Amino acid sequence: MRTAVQNLEASKIREVANAGLGRDNVLAFWFGEGDEVTPESVRRAAIESIERGETFYAHNLGLPELREAIAAYASALHGPVHASRIAVTSGGVSALMLAVQALVDAGDEVVAVTPVWPNLTAQPAILGAQVRCVPLQPQDGAWQLDLQALLNAITPTTRLLIVNAPNNPTGWTLTRAQQEAILAHCRRTGTWILADEVYERLYYEDSATGCAPSFLDIAAPEDRLVVAHSFSKSFLMTGWRLGWLVMPPALVDAMGKLIEFNTSCTSVFTQRAGLAALAQAEEITPRVVAHLRRCRDTLLPLLAAVPGVQVQSPPGGMYAFFRLAGFDDSLQVAKRLVAEAGLGLAPGNAFAPEAQGWLRWCFASREPARLEEGVRRLRAWLVAQG
């Protein structure tokens, strides 16, 4: 087995979930998904596609009509994006892996802003790249970018910058000014940017489009920029494995070949579901976001009032990332909370070694009362610790 593969760490989030799965009465908030099923009309589109017999291999880069629909959706949010720059992928995970495969050689230097969802640093590591992390700085429960530290870390030898904003787990988002500075710097150094914007619509601040600032708003089509997207979060479609990426024209042919050798294509009936989702995007997504906002506004004040908890309301995403004073081993405390309080959270050090003592709580819950019960359990457990 390759050393890079041997060295892969098991997922700490999985480790906690495995300790809790099968236990009765655990309130699970460890994974990045809610408990609401995909809208009925989207499910029906897939069923009808299967019934029509759409069960064959399809285009590498995606159904032309879905690429067109994604381009129209992206253009409405960010200004003109041509369909030829879109590849349909089997989830955001696949979009990210394809981008990394296209851009990174073994031994290359990759810079990643952390804490971040572990796949984003694992994927270049699997290919043998060296990942250098630039940590966000925690300030009173919120996380801030030291822009100069990031720019200093990106040199002409840096092949790729990976940045996820709105960020999983912290909710941190990039400002437009920061994006402009990063793009200008990467143009100078010749560094590619891989922007993971799967949470772009899960944004709670004021904005004209309801979207977090995106690199697509400011970049030219030819810029060395790949943006990864997903149907999972904004359309309640985690299990479908449907995503897309936007890339410069120069990458399109190579991406088609990479998809051929990875998955060949995404199943047609899944893509039909994607088309149905996009046709109703402005009904589904605002409803999802309004509900998530209610969940966030239910959980955050309750959590912030727990003695020892340091947290701030996240501007984006679907997670509360919080520090628990007096508990420095995130994995151990997450496992104890499962076993002793029936509360399932993700350990902070899954996202960055420096986030020891932090925990991530996914607040996407159909019943906000589950969030209230979760906080009650956390409080009771803390009281029992004395």
Kindly tell me which of 158 and 230 has the beta carbon lying closer to ligand PLP.
230
CA distance 22 to 25: 9
Among 42, 66, 198, 211, binds ligand PLP (CB under 6 A): 198
DSSP-derived secondary structure letter, 206: -
By CB under 6 A, tell whether 232 contacts ligand PLP: yes
CA-based nearest residue to 307, from 366, 216, 243, 386: 386
Reading the block at residue 366, the tokens are 């159909």
Cα of first residue to Cα of last residue in the chain, in angstroms, is 48
Residues 6+ apart with CB under 8 A from 44: 276
By CB under 6 A, tell whether 92 contacts ligand PLP: yes
Q: Which residue is nearest to ligand PLP (CB)?
A: 92
Among 86, 93, 151, 236, binds ligand PLP (CB under 6 A): 93
By CB under 6 A, tell whether 91 contacts ligand PLP: yes
By CB under 6 A, tell whether 238 contacts ligand PLP: yes
By CB under 6 A, tell whether 117 contacts ligand PLP: yes
Kindly tell me which of 98 and 251 has the beta carbon lying closer to ligand PLP.
98
By CB under 6 A, tell whether 214 contacts ligand PLP: no
Residue 38 Cβ, how far from ligand PLP at the closest point, in Å?
12
Among 230, 267, 271, 349, binds ligand PLP (CB under 6 A): 230
Kindly tell me which of 267 and 375 has the beta carbon lying closer to ligand PLP.
267
Considering only 35-43, 58-66, 88-96, 331-339, which stretch makes contact with ligand PLP by CB under 6 A? 88-96
Instruction: Give CA 13 to chain center in angstroms.
Output: 15
By CB under 6 A, tell whether 32 contacts ligand PLP: yes
Among 98, 121, 194, 196, binds ligand PLP (CB under 6 A): 196
Instruction: Give CA 253 to chain center in angstroms.
Output: 26
Kindly tell me which of 198 and 320 has the beta carbon lying closer to ligand PLP.
198
Q: Strand 109-114 relative to strand 86-89: parallel, antiparallel, unpaired? A: unpaired
Instruction: Give CA 46 to chain center in angstroms.
Output: 24
By CB under 6 A, tell whether 374 contacts ligand PLP: no
**What are all long-range contacts of 116-119, with beta carbons under 8 Å and residues at least 24 apart?**
116/162, 116/164, 116/167, 116/168, 116/169, 116/351, 116/352, 117/32, 117/164, 117/168, 117/169, 117/196, 117/351, 118/9, 118/11, 118/12, 118/13, 118/350, 118/351, 119/93
Reading the block at residue 295, the tokens are 């969940």
Query: Which residues of the chain form contacts with ligand PLP (CB under 6 A)?
Result: 32, 91-93, 117, 164, 168, 196, 198, 230, 232, 238, 243
